[in-house]
Structure 1
Amino acid sequence: MPNGHVGGYGEAFIVAGSPQVWFLEGRYVDDICMLSRVYCTHCLTYAVKTVYNVPFDISSGDGRKLVWLDMKIFLDSAELGLNTKPLYPPPPWYANSSYVRNVLLGRFLRWVEIGPLQTEWHQALLSVLYELKQGGWKYKSVLSALRGIYKDDCKQYATFGAFAWKAMHSTM
């Protein structure tokens, strides 16, 4: 269908339909987080079983925090933390030159969404940097990756990371 002329949009509209029309799609749900200060665990479990006909493994927090996917929910304060997993970076000779930047930017963007406590992301970032150092990643390549992150939302992570990476380099 030619779209390079004035009638192209009209032709697309006639064939495809209105761009405002949405079609319902099925969605696979495998993780649900339900928090309540009113309902007990049994009531929340019953609610999940009433809505979904697939079995779920139900877990409750240890009384102070609930771990869910890549975050921790501190139940007393309703603040979010990070449930970090080890990075296990590939050796530098095996990875693409943009590997470090992509890994860091991906984590930073997720942290922007979660909004964890400062101590949580400090600890998570230090852990990632330590694993990169242990994996043989060069000082200049990691520092360059951190300095190459320009997104405003991620600047605090990149700045702290650069500071911490320099400190790790000078002490090890």
Structure 2
Amino acid sequence: QGVLPFIGKYSLDILKTSAGTAALAAGMVGVAYAIFAIPSGYVAHKKGRKKTIRASLAVISCLTLLLFFHDPLTAGMSATTRLYSFWLVMFLFGIFWVSVVTNSFPMLWQMASWGTIGIYTGLYYTASQGAAILAPVLTGAIIDIAGYRGIFLFCTLCMATAFLVMGRVKAGEADAKTA
């Protein structure tokens, strides 16, 4: 929620893309999301939702840490190589992010009873929309203080925290009658 709003500006200011090309980095996330939404559900069905989500959060943490170092690591490369490598990491980010999002909501519903499903859904969307409102403000402040690279480090910390929190979740897997 905090990184994607600034990816276009990052592409313009750091990767020196054209205005027309700048949006493609965020588009890579969307394309991966569309392609891998259903397969991520199948993976979670086979491996378990919690394992799938935690593995995805771990990979996202590594990818965003890689993005933190992307600019200095690729500084000597051609502009095209820098851009394509950035797009590749963003595409991979999308694959693993959809695995988190696609499997979180069913996990939440599995934890709720028939009578509390609306409350759980409301809590899910309140947290999700709260993040959508707050994250760009926080990442904007991080950009002002530490530059664009700081948002990737912030994202790494958030995903690592989510990984730890998800480790404490004890329910939410499909049971035998719903699997």
TM superposition score normalised by structure 2: 0.28
Greater share of helix residues, 1 or 2? Answer: 2
Higher relative contact order (Cα pairs below 8 Å, separated by 6+ residues):
2
The structure with more radius of gyration? 1
TM superposition score normalised by structure 1: 0.29
Greater share of strand residues, 1 or 2? Answer: 1
